[in-house]
């Protein structure tokens, strides 16, 4: 059994917990929290909840520590720190800071003889893998990534920070005509506005001015100004009833050509439709935790991404079984 520790028990931590329960070769050993452990109730019965300080004493009880904090401030500190003690897996997704994060985790993990897999999930993660495979197979081509329909936590938070807004759920929606143009192999040049639209469901504070708030949302630089945005005002009851699911998804498409004169066009598409973003991401993290465990057992160490993981390491089955049933 692979003994999994989870650090951080928010939506993502709960997603990892659920995934560990689905994998017969894994068991949840402990949940670690920066909050008061007494205040945290985990779903799996009999699992100890420990303060983060206890991680200094749990090396013999945990094979892989899955880090479920945020990319802004948690993971840049936590992943290098705990890669010096455990095999670790994270879902770091701040693209511009990947080189520094990778280097820091690599130093710590190599010094400790551990594996640290960063940026696991679906984007970065499965979408990255599909971009890589498609680029290797079709060097002459063009990549497109569409996100949605799905909830963007960052955009929802940005709207919530506007004075007079009590709650918001923001959906990112790919433009169907843009996706069709890409799938046709035409290699269209698409602006930000042509690729995605945004839709906001907003609950107002009492007395707030809807027209003013709608204008503030639509003109918000970086978040909304470059998009066609629709704003709906709804009640808190409707928000709870209709917009509680953290659904997401999207697709990666590469079109490319082969043939003596480039006369043959190929379209490779990978798409995800997810009812729960954190539960799916947690499921990817669990599979990567298995890979970390197995790569460590084979003597490897250092920072890795999903690019560096032979797919068979993600599976509980042996090579012969995989070749028989999935090849």
**Binding piece for its own copies, criterion CB under 8 A, among 30-38, 109-117, 229-237, 263-271:** 263-271
Phi then psi for 178, rounded to 5 degrees? -65, -45
- The yes or no reply on residue 45 touching its own copies (CB under 8 A) is no
Out of 66, 274, 289, 292, the only residue in the binding site for its own copies (CB under 8 A) is 274
Nearest residue to 248 via CA among 154, 179, 162: 154
Nearer to its own copies, 158 or 284 (CB): 284
- The yes or no reply on residue 91 touching its own copies (CB under 8 A) is no
- The yes or no reply on residue 312 touching its own copies (CB under 8 A) is yes
- The yes or no reply on residue 132 touching its own copies (CB under 8 A) is yes
- The yes or no reply on residue 15 touching its own copies (CB under 8 A) is yes
Nearest residue to 167 via CA among 199, 197, 200, 198: 200
Out of 33, 79, 91, 130, the only residue in the binding site for its own copies (CB under 8 A) is 130
Task: Tell me how far, at minimum, the Cβ of 74 lies from its own copies, in Å.
Answer: 19
- Six token digits for residue 125: 């993660």
Task: Tell me how far, at minimum, the Cβ of 194 lies from its own copies, in Å.
Answer: 22
CB atoms within 10 A of CB 157: 12
Task: Tell me how far, at minimum, the Cβ of 121 lies from its own copies, in Å.
Answer: 10
Within the chain, strands assigned E span 2-7, 26-33, 49-51, 64-67, 87-89, 115-117, 141-147, 150-151, 165-174, 196-204, 228-233, 248-258, 264-274, 302-304
Cα three-residue angle 64-307-98, rounded to 5 degrees = 80
- Distance from the Cα of residue 69 to its chain's centroid: 12
- The yes or no reply on residue 119 touching its own copies (CB under 8 A) is yes
* Residues 131, 128: Cα–Cα separation, whole Å: 5
Binding characters for its own copies, 229-248, by CB under 8 A (x = yes): ----------------x---
Nearest residue to 60 via CA among 138, 144, 3: 3
Binding characters for its own copies, 170-209, by CB under 8 A (x = yes): -------------x--------------------------
Q: Which positions lie near its own copies, rule CB under 8 A?
A: 15, 18-19, 22-23, 43, 95, 98-99, 102, 119, 124, 126, 128-133, 135-140, 183, 245, 258-260, 263-276, 279-280, 282-284, 287, 290, 305-312, 314-316, 319-320, 322-324, 326-327
């Amino acid at each position: 059994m692979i003994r999994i520790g989870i650090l951080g028990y928010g939506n993502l931590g709960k997603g990892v917990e659920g995934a560990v329960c689905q994998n017969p070769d894994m068991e949840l050993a402990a949940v670690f929290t920066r909050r008061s452990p007494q205040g945290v109730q985990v779903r799996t019965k009999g699992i100890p909840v420990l303060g983060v300080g206890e991680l200094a004493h749990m090396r013999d009880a945990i094979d892989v520590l899955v880090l479920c904090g945020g990319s802004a401030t948690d993971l840049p500190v936590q992943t290098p720190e705990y890669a010096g003690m455990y095999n670790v897996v994270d879902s770091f997704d701040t693209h511009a800071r990947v080189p520094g994060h990778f280097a820091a985790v690599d130093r710590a993990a190599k010094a400790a003889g551990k594996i640290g897999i960063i940026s696991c999930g679906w984007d970065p993660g499965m979408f990255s893998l599909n971009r890589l495979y498609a680029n290797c197979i079709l060097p002459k081509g063009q990549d497109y990534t569409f996100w949605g329909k799905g909830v963007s936590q960052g955009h929802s938070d940005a709207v919530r920070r506007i004075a007079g807004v009590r709650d918001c759920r923001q959906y990112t929606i790919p433009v169907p005509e843009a996706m069709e143009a890409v799938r046709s192999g035409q290699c269209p040049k698409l602006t930000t506005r042509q690729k995605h639209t945004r839709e906001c469901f907003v609950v107002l504070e009492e007395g707030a001015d809807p027209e003013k708030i709608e204008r503030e949302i639509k003109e918000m630089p970086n978040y909304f100004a470059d998009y066609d945005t629709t704003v709906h005002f709804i009640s808190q009851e409707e928000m709870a009833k209709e917009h509680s699911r953290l659904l997401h998804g999207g697709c990666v498409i590469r079109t490319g050509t082969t043939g003596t004169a480039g006369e043959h066009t190929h379209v490779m598409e990978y798409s995800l439709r997810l009812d729960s973003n954190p539960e799916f991401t947690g499921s990817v993290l669990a599979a990567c935790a298995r890979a970390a465990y197995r790569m460590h057992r084979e003597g490897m160490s250092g920072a890795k991404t999903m690019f560096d993981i032979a797919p068979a390491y993600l599976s509980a089955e042996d090579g012969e079984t995989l070749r028989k049933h999935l090849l």
